[in-house]
Chains A and B, each alone.
Chain A
């Protein structure tokens, strides 16, 4: 079984790897590139723990082949903070105690970031539906939703201050 050579961009860096045709993007991220921030909770697109964005589009990396990433731009949790500067969502998740065990946290953060990029002022209902594909079994979602809404409010405030 011959491997496929893939050139892609991950968190802004050009990255090359060899993968088997049946390897998912998640397999490549975790096992080949050892970027284990992206988690596998189900492998069937039902839990969202493996959320990443591909060309700005939120997807489950377990439902995409590694070979499909050729020429694309992939963003993962490892690229969310800017050096030592956390993304506001990361800060708010800590402040609101929006994580207990933390296994679903990377997926929630990546998915929530994608929401706020499209909709800087989501309602609670819009937020809950956008994140419905991200399962959390610890928190009952309450503090996660609050953290996302609070981040959105703060980011809007900063934007208006900057303007």
Chain B
């Protein structure tokens, strides 16, 4: 195995493109090193992107924030502007593993590991985040929900990597929230995760909403029916129940060591209702 730590995205792309064998990008490393330890993965090249300035920073852009692929969730939690605008995304990133893990783990790494249970992804999907992919043929921006094609599978082409994620600007009366279910209070992989982002007008009516649902399908889902159930309502109990029902209906989970099909379907609804209520209350506070 070769270890490289380039200082520009272009050099990183060149390394990934040039490698004949298995190449992996190292951001926080909290998933990659576990795979190395288990022997499941034996890459020929590991490219550490944390020496690339563009990937190390959180920068204001068009009223929103661009977060580099090397930014840890701990660093996100310490960024006041980001916490004020996207509290749900930040709290999702801050749920990844332990304090120690949060000191290293990145949202882009969490996304590219392509686990359907990744905590930050439903929140990013709900936020309408886009990611910037850089590769041998230049760079492109795509919606975050379009990156992964299945457990452990991304649509990145040879030589491509994700440089950053962009969280857009928000109108007044907007906010978001993320909730996940785990058996303990910490340290577990989400059995179900739900991110809700919404905007309320002056009268408290929901004018825009997005709902991301994790750990209940091969990839994180954008549940449009749940959003529809909220838009046009005051996010009252009836609307929350409808959104919950939509997420339960959208859930297509499996039985595994972390939960059963029935359990995940039911809890998907429960968490949707709870997360939407939190997002609503936060949005009202921002109105």
List residues of A whose CB falls within 8 A of some B CB.
1, 4, 20-22, 24, 43-46, 48, 51, 54, 57-60, 62-65, 67-68, 70, 111, 114, 129-134
Contacts and interface: CB of A to CB of B under 8 A. Distances in A.
A21 B3 contact: yes
Interface in B216-238: none
Interface residues of B, number: 27
Contacts of B186: 129, 132-133
- Interface of chain B: mostly helix, strand, loop or mixed: mixed
23 contacts: A4-B3, A21-B1, A21-B3, A22-B36, A45-B33, A45-B100, A46-B187, A58-B99, A58-B100, A60-B98, A62-B33, A62-B37, A64-B29, A65-B3, A67-B48, A68-B5, A111-B99, A114-B99, A129-B99, A129-B186, A130-B99, A132-B186, A133-B100
B119 to A, nearest CB: 15
B257 interface: no
A24 B3 CA distance: 12
A1 B5 CA distance: 17
Given A22-B36, A45-B30, A132-B187, A68 B97 contact: no
Contacts of A58: 99-100, 103
B134 interface: no
A63 B29 contact: yes
B37 to A, nearest CB: 5
A21 B34 contact: no
Interface of B: 1-3, 5, 26, 29-30, 33-34, 36-38, 46, 48, 50, 72, 74, 97-101, 103-104, 185-187
Give the one of A4, A51, A57 with max B CB within 10 A: A57
Contact of B1 (A1, A45, A114): A1
A6 B220 CA distance: 39
Contacts of A114: 99
Given A65-B3, A68-B48, A44 B37 contact: yes
- CB-based closest 10 A-B pairs: A133-B98, A132-B186, A21-B3, A60-B100, A57-B103, A59-B103, A21-B1, A67-B3, A44-B34, A63-B33
Given A133-B97, A133-B98, A133-B187, 5 more contacts: A45-B33, A57-B103, A68-B29, A114-B99, A132-B187
A1 B3 CA distance: 11
A59 B136 CA distance: 33
Contact of B30 (A21, A51, A63, A67): A63
B34 A63 contact: yes
B106 to A, nearest CB: 12
